[in-house]
């Protein structure tokens, strides 16, 4: 049976309040926990007024304090910006607080503009893709799920604390085949970001499964796919809400991250060029939109195309009440366990 998880980006609503966005993340996590979703991941974005989720480690801690069963994690920590030692210590703390529930999802995207990358690294050069395998080896060593650092490594005598009895589950996140190859090499789970790139994901997953080898991060392949889902009471209501997401994605393509989530009314009143309409049509490949019956059929076909046992959903509604309703509908359509109920 298809398992559903949640990726939440803490979107800033039309009210423009980042504080409210963070409170809504906690409210959504509590709902997802109660409805029986498999996991709840939070993202990392910087210099974007439209998204309040800039520090996944802090948010994970808050989410863990307000939930009891659901797995909690990052979707994901942008490892090239950070010391593997510090990432290991952060997630050892989280694992100590919430043992057996923590996912360490790792991304390699910049997370913002070039200036953001410079600021996060305090002016140091950004680690390129060629260094990512080295960073992953260090991370595995500090988490004590990989080989110790070699005798010539400058940090070989360091120990990542606190000493806790469990380690987080490690996933590599990506929107291309590069992360799939690394995940297969290191034995990590692989989560494809279909909500970022609506093309090529099935090939990346097939490559991952074919080339998977047990490694420091795991002993069996695990696949999830993340996609925008807008489920409403009717197809018409879902399509109305999707117009706001269309406009938001257009703004993102233009680098306009410093504005709140638009409303459907704003999107409906805006004139579009032919080029923009073509972009909207392309972006719809990243979304599943409709009433319950349409969404159920589309989501089943989507998961089957990937051969994925789990789908993480981002319900991109401008109205938070409708966003909650969307997750409730999905829980009713795809019950993971007897704990789920629809209110």
Which tens digits make up the pLDDT trace of 217-243? 999 999 999 999 999 999 999 999 999
pLDDT above 80 (res 112)? no
User: Cα–Cα distance between 311 and 290 in angstroms, integer?
Assistant: 17
pLDDT of residue 91: 98
DSSP 11: B
pLDDT of residue 115: 79
pLDDT tens profile 25-73: 999 999 999 999 999 999 999 988 889 999 999 999 999 999 999 999 9
Contact 168, 111 (CB under 8 A): no
* The architecture CATH gives domain 3-227+312-321: Alpha-Beta Barrel (3.20)
Enumerate the domain spans of the chain: 3-227+312-321
Is the four-CA dihedral 226, 227, 230, 231 of positive or negative sign?
negative
Higher pLDDT residue, 126 or 156? 156
Helix axes 292-306, 320-333, angle to 10 degrees: 70
pLDDT above 80 (res 127)? no
pLDDT above 50 (res 256)? yes
pLDDT of residue 130: 79
Strand, coil or helix: what is 74? strand
Which of 108-117, 280-289, 297-306, 307-316 is least confident? 108-117
pLDDT of residue 16: 87
Determine how many CB atoms are found less than 10 A away from the CB of residue 229.
Answer: 26
Q: At 4, is the pLDDT very low, low, confident or very high (cuts 50, 70, 90)? A: very high
Average pLDDT over residues 302-325: 95
pLDDT of residue 339: 45
Task: Report pTM.
Answer: 0.94
Contact 242, 287 (CB under 8 A): yes
pLDDT above 50 (res 155)? yes
């Amino acid at each position: 049976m298809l398992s559903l998880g949640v990726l939440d980006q803490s979107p800033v609503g039309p009210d423009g309040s980042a504080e409210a966005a963070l409170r809504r993340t906690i409210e959504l996590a509590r709902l997802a926990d109660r409805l029986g979703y498999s996991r709840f991941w939070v993202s990392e974005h910087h210099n974007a007024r439209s998204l309040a989720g800039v520090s996944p480690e802090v948010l994970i801690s808050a989410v863990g304090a307000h939930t009891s069963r659901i797995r909690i994690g990052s979707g994901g920590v942008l490892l090239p910006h950070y010391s593997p030692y510090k990432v290991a210590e952060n997630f050892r703390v989280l694992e100590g607080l919430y043992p057996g529930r923590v996912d360490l999802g790792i991304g390699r995207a910049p997370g913002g503009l070039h200036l953001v990358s410079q600021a996060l690294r305090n002016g140091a050069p950004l680690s390129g893709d060629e260094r990512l395998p080295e960073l992953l080896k260090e991370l595995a060593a500090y988490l004590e799920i990989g080989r110790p650092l070699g005798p010539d490594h400058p940090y070989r005598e360091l120990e990542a604390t606190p000493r806790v009895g469990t380690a987080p589950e490690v996933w590599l996140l990506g929107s291309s085949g590069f992360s799939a190859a690394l995940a297969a090499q290191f034995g990590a789970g692989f989560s494809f970001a279909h909500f970022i790139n609506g093309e090529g994901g099935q090939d990346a997953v097939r490559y991952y499964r074919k080339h998977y080898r047990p490694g420091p991060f795991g002993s069996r392949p695990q696949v999830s796919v993340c996609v925008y889902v807008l489920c409403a009471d009717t197809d018409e209501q879902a399509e109305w809400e999707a117009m706001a997401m269309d406009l938001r994605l257009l703004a993102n393509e233009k680098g306009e991250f410093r504005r709140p989530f638009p409303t459907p009314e704003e999107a409906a009143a805006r004139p579009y060029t032919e080029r923009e309409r073509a972009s909207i049509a392309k972006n719809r490949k990243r979304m599943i939109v409709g009433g319950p019956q349409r969404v159920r059929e589309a989501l089943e076909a989507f998961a089957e195309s990937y051969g994925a046992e789990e789908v993480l959903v981002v319900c991109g509604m401008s109205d938070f009440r409708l966003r909650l309703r969307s997750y409730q509908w999905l829980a009713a359509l795809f019950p993971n366990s007897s704990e789920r109920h629809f209110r």
